[in-house]
Chain A
Amino acid sequence: MSNNHLMEFDNEKTTDVLEKSKQLGLLEKDLVEMYRTMISIRLFEEMADKLYALGKVHGTMHLSAGQEGVAVGTGKVMGAEDYLLNHHRGHGHFIASGADIKKMMAEFLGKETGYCKGRGGSMHIADVEANNLGANGIVGGGIQLAAGVGLAIKMMGEERVVLVIFGDGAANQGILYESFNMAAIWDLPVVYLCENNQYGMSADVTRVSSKVPFKERATAHGIPGYYIDGNDVLAVYETMANAVEHARSRKGPVFVEAQTYRYFGHSKSDRNLYRTRDEIEEWKHRDPIERFQKLLVDANIITEEDIEKIYQEMSQLIDEAVEFAENSPEPDVSEVTEWVYA
């Protein structure tokens, strides 16, 4: 059994959602909205998988089902003016940051109406005008840019922060340490979020990493580091709120590592040979959506009836996005060489 380094968070686990949300300044409607967003991500990913199975997707995809707690806890914290650098398993973070699901689905299907006019696909969804600087097909790709975005924010004297999200795989790319060093010596407003889902493709994080958790590598650079339960959406929100506040108040970079798990394989070629069915099932007992749902139900914030209604609404939203994408035009092949240069 792998994952023997996993931390238990019993002491810090959110058990009383009312108490916790009060402490965090979240209203009941915020909690319901967060829950709805988590559902929309899960349904988006399941639809993406289905569309692929139906042969409607030309390229590859990297699904984040199981990681909704990290996405929504983080997205709720970030301001519209903050920059986002995302990783290749990024659908959830985009949805949580308020992206238009129709445009995402259209990009996924390679249509002209997609965020990148069908030039990028799932791995490169970006919305630069909305400060979303893109998902990245290179593991650690966003890390390369993060210090520069932070430097620009500092030079322009702005109050924004840049959030760069990457996985445990990227934590072993050398650029992370060049970036840590630069961000630390220049006190840049960079929030590093390592979404540790236990595997870099098939590589068990403990097998390929000299030392875990990675937060110790951040603290070794003088950067405050946190290790949290990524499947506890309110714990994510709490830590990310503190982290963003730290960066925004010009105290320099900060690092958060969120422990989580992906249910689907790495990409469409994955046959899950490197992990057991039992392991996947075990993680489903820590499912971020079910945990949050139980808290909300126990606190009488939502009822079973509400849940059904939310699923229906979100499902309809996804269906509409698919319909929009399918009815959208293909890019004009005569424009294949557009936008190489500005």
Chain B
Amino acid sequence: MAYFLNNLFIVILPICITVIVTLAITVIFKTSYTTNFAQGVISAFGAYVAAKCLNSAGLSIWLAVPIGAVAAMAIAIFVDVVIFRRGRYVNGLGKQIITMGLISIIVGATPLIFGAQTPKFGKFVEGNQSFTVGGEQVTVTNNALVCLGITIAIVVLIFVLLRYSKWGLSVRATASNEYVAEMVGINTHIVTAISWGLAGALGAFAAAMAASNSTEISHVYIMTNYQVNAFLAGILGGFATFYGPVVAAILIPLASSLITWFGNTVGIPSLSGWAMVIVYALSLIAIFFKPQGLFGKRTVKKV
């Protein structure tokens, strides 16, 4: 039991990061109809800015991370306003390739701006919480708990905004049909710009969490694995809804952790290496049988 709980607590942070990245990718997918491959590097850029504030200016992490988020937000809005708005009628594949061009730009620009060495990054809160379950020690880091709190706050806030605010209504309208939304008087330019800004800021928070886990930003591709998981979560949950991808984003790291736990309990410790392979394979099988995703809606296509 204690071992199970320990395993569960380790996976809290990956779940938080995946959920936030998935939310960012879903928001952009719904308003701009493209998968943003640059999400990871834009997030990493935000984390670099935060690390710069942390190391050079000596700010507290609670101030540095929001500054990084603002920087990532500025980049994301710039991308939407300057590049995507002009290429509005570039097809879906073209948009994807533009985002991948952005990867090259940011990967090239980051060492120019921040220097070549890997920046140090602090934890949000130091220390552990430990308690005993059935005579065994169970430990969870305060950092993970704080990140969990931040994530829950962000997710709840965004879902409330989407459901009840005017902005949420216009996002949902744009997501369902951009042209009709324009016709009924929604300024889709502003909606997409805000969505990109939101995605950038969310990404920066996620990257800060990822960096706080390993005490440094190891490289600019720090978010790539989470981003790949987030794409898969989007497909698995179905991009048709906002909650589907988020649920899938919780499921993917959780399933991997459960497989590791199962392997150790049954006596096959080598299963932990295969955990991600099994999770991806299961997801692909699920998608193959439900192409709309677990929570997707079937759409009827006209010929």
A and B associate: no
Show the binding face of B for A, using Cβ within 8 Å.
Answer: none
